Structure 1
């Protein structure tokens, strides 16, 4: 099967690194378990035990924020700088998904429609469904064929539903070149990324590039400076995009006879990408399309001819949190814009953030405890206090959507971004928590079902650390294992 190379092996060249892993997020690297034997710790001893971890010399320059409470009350078992702002990374998704469940409901679905918009004209109206794939395009095509559509003079992509920039202005250049920083718009397809394989050839020759989408290959100029090397040599591949946009540079080396490397890249113009794929799908069913274009103004539509719906919000939220999917989080944020009256020139993201603030405030989350600019936590302008995260977790535990919210979180040692953490420790299976991480930031917040104490809620954020993320994660995991071993004394 194709090889997936860790980002740790990539080199940064003239452009910016893009992910060569097709999934949005991988489970985090396994570290040596902090504690493999079962013991107990009294709640009164928790502070000293946590401080012993945080105050290690290796963390002398890092900022730690943390708070722990029983789920049954707001009594604080431990607190350190819990009211101060930290960069939350993906733990910000806890706020976005909480507001989405409260406002939209667990059964909410995105709808994508194809309308008749004149003689021989079809208009596709997207509403920001992050789960739409080629399979749904095939379903739309089948419905159109059943309605007697045999040719299309003009296929229009109505990309007006989601208003504003397709990527947040504060996202870093390296992020928007990676699949985890894919653009967000009304007509999202295949999570707005495309894939290709890089296959080794004979020694001394450049590896071969194979595109999963031949049409997409025509959109790029590829400069392949990589080489195939002999066995027992290291493998590393780096794909960069220049600042002008449509030139890909491939550098590095692949070992002869090794498995191909998968590369996942964000599309440049998502609405045009959607049209290319839909046109190709229609043509495969012998429905030719004469012309396509993207409309920047709302199209006057007539009869709805076809539609597809996303899975329910309960499943979308699980995809958002279990796999820490930025695109899904940003789509949910923009979907919240329907819950407030439209304001001229206001973006869907800004409207969604206002709904998040109002919703969380109503739930009892201190509005001064966070300042978000996006829904995923990818921006370094996002600021959240550990206290705001724990207030959200506490409030959602009392919500009608409590079970759905909690089920959306990774399970220690089992699923998502916690699959490879806490294995063979007392925390395995009894911790459900959202991870967060970017350069200099490691975070974890969620629930612990401590068997000898009762349910506990915690939030831990570490900023401004020069230590490898694995070192910080192991320290956080040690603390969470302590929470799993709490008992009433």
Structure 2
């Protein structure tokens, strides 16, 4: 009798769990098959990484424009190739001259990160020679919108970024411009653009705003001039480093870069991370080197090989599947301690780009990276159910004509079903 009762109880539990799972699947299917999703392209994959069980799959092997979900692959590449502290400079001392070159580190006097490691190292040296030709990449990524050149989210890529490769203009009593080198290049007038397309001439209307961040055109001479203004001494440009063993100066903790990358969806940091990775893997700074290396080695078993052209996701040439996105998220979950990983990803209703969406009743239940371009919105990451189960998901939406907030509301309905049902 006792055994029979136990079997009945176990059967009831199994049946109950199966019933809840079916109800959850039906609820998700009903939402995805509603008229709302008729005229757009949608993909969803949900995985239980512990049980290795696919809980839901919908167009998960189809290719989507990922927008800033691309940064998940960039984060993985950085974690697999870069040290705990950023390589800030490479240098070589010869007689009374310090020869130095950039590593792609974006943090030098960055407006928000404010790292001064390289600045402090260089400022007390009389004779400085800057090697600029190790950068073998383009200033802008393939497929970037041409008219983004004047907006804060699209700084140029370079070997030795300084001040985040942007000019900050503040409407203060003394009218502050950082870096000060560009102060005479700012016109205080109303203009349809923030900057001229092909030269560093900036426009700022204090009647409209109290501050403005604008990318500047980067080249070796501009970097030289900015540094000379900071150090009040001349710097020599060289196109080849002298022979000898180069040393590396290490700077900011990499996790501070990763948090800003994911929380603020910082495109500039994303691009520079791949350039830094290339510098560790090869003798030149070219983001394609890093992408090719990671795809041929650590990610050689991806379910579908992506078309991956930049670090940030600004390019509409990028193509990724939900299945490959979940694969990389699972690799991250297996290799990075959960507390650290979830601190790097934005938390729903709490931080970063998710601070106004997907909040939990008492604590965050979603830790994920969003990706937005016109008519596209994707979200990929981790979901904690009410029963404590950890799920990995990738939810990708392309070509919709609804408002992004309407798409997010539909997605939130599905996330809540997952949280309740599993």
Asked if these proteins are the same fold (TM beyond 0.5), I'd say yes
Distance change (3 Å), C-alpha of 1:409 and 1:142:
closer
1:357 aligns with 2:295: yes
Please show how residues 162-181 of structure 1 align to structure 2 within 5 Å. Answer: 162-181=135-154
Specify every segment of 5 or more residues in structure 2 that has no aligned partner in the other structure, as ranges: 1-18
Give the Cα separation in 2 of the matches to 1:69 and 1:138: 42
d(CA) in 1 for partners of 2:380, 2:271:
20
Return closer, same or farther for 1:382/1:303 CA change in 2, 3 Å cut-off.
closer
Query: Relative to 1, partners in 2 of residues 1:451 and 1:280: Cα closer, same or farther, differing over 3 Å?
Result: same
C-alpha deviation, 1:303, in angstroms:
9.3
Structure 1 residue 191, shift from structure 2 partner = 1.4
Q: Pairwise mapping of residues 372-411 of structure 1 onto structure 2 (< 5 A)? A: 372-400=308-336, 403-411=339-347
Quote the Cα distance in structure 1 between the aligned partners of 2:159 and 2:296.
24
Deviations 1:375-429 (A, max 9, x none): 1111100000001111111222222566543431111111111122224x44851
Q: What is residue 435 of structure 1 aligned with on the other side?
A: 370
Aligned partner (choices 61, 70, 89) of residue 48 of structure 2? 70
Is the CA contact (8 Å cut-off) linking 1:267 and 1:273 kept in structure 2? no
Relative to its length, the structure with more helix (as a share) is: 2
Q: Following TM superposition, by how much is the alpha carbon of 1:361 offset from its aligned partner in structure 2, in angstroms?
A: 2.5
List aligned pairs for 1:418-433, cutoff 5 A: 418-423=354-359, 425-426=360-361, 428-433=363-368
| Aligned counterpart in structure 2 of residue 53 of structure 1, from 31, 42, 45 | 31
- Identify which of 384, 389, 408 aligns with 1:473: 408
Is 2:142 the partner of 1:195? Answer: no
1:60-209 pair list within 5 angstroms: 60-104=38-82, 107-113=84-90, 115-116=92-93, 121-133=97-109, 136-137=115-116, 140-141=119-120, 145=124, 149=125, 151-152=126-127, 155-198=128-171
Deviations 1:79-119 (A, max 9, x none): 111000000011111112112212335x2531314544565
Q: 1:413 matched to which residue of 2?
A: 349
In structure 2, relative to structure 1, the CA distance for the partners of 1:221 and 1:142 (3 Å cut) is closer
**C-alpha distance after superposition, 1:185-229 (max 9, x if no partner):** 1101121111113579xxxxxxx97534442133x3637236xxx
Q: Return the alpha-carbon distance in structure 1 between the equivalents of residues 62 and 362 of structure 2.
A: 27
How far off is 1:124 after superposition? 2.9
Aligned to 2:210: 261
Displacement of 1:63 in angstroms is 0.8
Quick check: 1:443–1:461 contact (8 Å CA) kept in 2? yes
Q: 1:241, 1:224 → 2: CA distance? A: 12
* Aligned residues: CA RMSD: 3.1
- How far, CA to CA, are the matches of 2:188 and 2:370 in structure 1? 36
State the aligned residue count. 401
Give the Cα–Cα distance (whole angstroms) in 2 for the partners of residues 96 and 351 of structure 1.
Answer: 13
Q: Find out whether 1:459 has 2:400 as its counterpart.
A: no
Secondary structure at 2:169 match in 1: strand
Q: Is the 8 A contact 1:239 1:250 kept in 2?
A: no
Aligned partners of 2:235 and 2:419: how far apart in 1?
57
2:115–2:252 CA contact under 8 A, matched in 1: no
Task: Quote the Cα distance in structure 1 between the aligned partners of 2:49 and 2:266.
Answer: 27
Residue of structure 1 equivalent to 2:5:
none
What SS does structure 1 have at the residue aligned with 2:335?
A: coil
Q: Which residue of 1 aligns with 2:3?
A: none
Higher RCO (CA 8 Å, separation ≥ 6 residues): 1
Within 1, Cα distance between the matches of 2:175 and 2:193? 12
- Measure, in 1, the Cα distance between the counterparts of 2:406 and 2:331: 31
Contact 1:183 1:270 in 2 (8 A): no
Structure 1 runs not aligned, ≥5 long:
1-40, 201-207, 227-237, 255-259, 284-288
Q: 1:243 to 1:100 in 2, by over 3 A?
A: closer
